[in-house]
Chain A
Amino acid sequence: MLTISNLHVCIDGKPILRGIDLEVGPGEVHAIMGPNGSGKSTLAHVLAGRDAYEVTQGTVVYDGADLLAMPPEDRARRGIFLAFQYPVEIPGVNNAYFLKAALNAGRRYRGLTEFDAVEFLSLVREKMKLVHLDEALLKRSVNEGFSGGEKKRNEVFQMAVLEPRLAILDETDSGLDIDALKIVAEGVNRLRGGDRSIIVVTHYQRLLNHVLPDAVHVLSEGRIIRSGQRDLALELEERGYDWLRPNALA
Chain B
Amino acid sequence: MTGTMASHYAEEFARAEGGLVGADSGWFKAARRRALTHFGRIGFPTPKEEEWKYTSVAPIESRSFRLAGHPRNGLDVAELDRLRLIEAHELVFVNGYYSAQLSRLASLPAAVSVAPLSEALPDSLQEHMERQAEQPGNGFAALNAALLSDGVHIRVGSGVTLKTTLHLLFISTAPDGPTASFPRVFIEAGANSRVLIIEHYAGLTPEEYFTDALTEINVGPGATVEHYKWQMEGARGYHIGQMLVHQQRESRVTSYSVSLGAALARDDIAVSLAGEGAGASLNGLYMAKGRQHVDHHTSIDHQQPHTTSAEYYKGVLAGHARGVFDGKVVVREGAQKADAELTNKNLLLSEHAEMDTKPELQIYADDVKCSHGATVGQLDEDALFYLRSRGIEYSQATALLTYAFADDVVARIAIEPMRHAIERHLTAYLPRAALDMELL
Chain A residues within CB distance 8 Å of chain B: 48-52, 71-73, 75-77, 81-82, 84, 87-88, 90-94, 96-103, 105-106, 109, 117, 141-142, 158, 162
- A49, A81, A103, A142: the one contacting B388 at CB < 8 Å is A49
Q: How far is the CB of A43 from chain B (nearest CB, A)?
A: 15
The reply on B403 being an interface residue by CB < 8 A is yes
Q: Are B388 and A73 in contact (CB under 8 A)?
A: yes
B439 within 8 A of A: yes
Main DSSP-derived SS at the B contact region:
helix
Cβ-neighbour of A71 out of B382, B383, B390, B394 (below 8 A): B394
Pairwise interchain contact B405-A84, C-beta atoms closer than 8 A? no
Q: Are B403 and A90 in contact (CB under 8 A)?
A: no
Task: Select which of A94, A102, A142 is within 8 A of B439 by beta carbon.
Answer: A94
Instruction: Say which residue of A48, A52, A99 sits within 8 Å of B389 (CB atoms).
Output: A48
| B406-429 CB contacts (< 8 Å) to partner A | 407-408
Chain A to chain B: the 6 pairs with minimum beta-carbon distance, closest first? A92-B404, A76-B391, A102-B390, A97-B439, A105-B391, A92-B407
Digitize B141-153: 1 where CB-to-A-CB distance is under 8 Å, 0 elsewhere: 0000000000000
CB-CB under 8 A from A98, the residues of chain B are 387, 390, 392, 400
B410's nearest neighbour on chain A, judged by CB, is: A92
The one of A48, A73, A92 that contacts B394, using a Cβ cutoff of 8 Å:
A73
Provide the bound-state CA to CA distance between A170 and B439, in Å.
30
Q: Could you tell me the distance between the alpha carbons of A81 and B391 in the complex, rounded to whole angstroms?
A: 9
- Whether, in the assembled complex, B436 has its beta carbon less than 8 Å from a beta carbon of chain A, the answer is yes
- Shortest Cβ distance from B383 into chain A, in angstroms? 5
Contact code string B366-380 (vs A, CB < 8 Å = 1, else 0): 000000000000001
Distance between Cα atoms of A91 and B391 in the complex (Å): 19
**B402–chain A nearest beta-carbon distance, Å:** 10
Distance (whole angstroms) from the CB of A67 to the closest CB of chain B: 13
**B residues adjacent to A (C-beta < 8 A):** 380-383, 385-394, 396-397, 400-401, 403-405, 407-408, 436, 438-440
**Which residue in chain A gives the minimum CB-CB distance to B436?**
A101
Cβ of A141: which chain B residues have Cβ within 8 Å of it? 404
Evaluate contact between A90 and B405: CB separation under 8 angstroms. no
Given known contacts A72-B385, A97-B439, is B391 in contact with A106 (CB within 8 Å)? yes
Which residues from chain A contact B391 at a C-beta distance below 8 Å?
73, 76-77, 102-103, 105-106, 109, 162
Complex Cα distance A52/B385, Å? 10
Q: What chain A residues lie within 8 Å of B385 (beta carbons)?
A: 49-51, 72, 88
Residues of chain B within 8 A of A100, CB atoms compared = 439
- Chain B residues with CB under 8 A of A77: 391
A81: chain B residues within 8 A (beta carbon): 389-390
A105 and B382 contact, CB distance less than 8 A: no
Q: Which residue of B lies closest to A159 (CB)?
A: B390
Select which of A92, A96, A142 is within 8 A of B403 by beta carbon: A92
On chain A, the residues within 8 Å of B383 by CB distance are 88, 90, 93
Residue of B nearest to A74 (CB): B391
Chain B residues lying within 8 Å of A109, measured Cβ to Cβ, are 391
B389 touches A49 (CB 8 A): yes
Q: List 15 A-B contacts (CB under 8 A).
A: A49-B389, A71-B394, A73-B391, A76-B388, A84-B386, A84-B389, A90-B404, A92-B408, A93-B387, A98-B390, A101-B392, A101-B400, A109-B391, A141-B404, A158-B390
Q: Which chain A residues border B407 with CB–CB below 8 Å? A: 92
Chain B residues in 8 Å Cβ range of A52: 381
User: Bound complex: CA of A181 vs CA of B438, how far in Å?
Assistant: 35
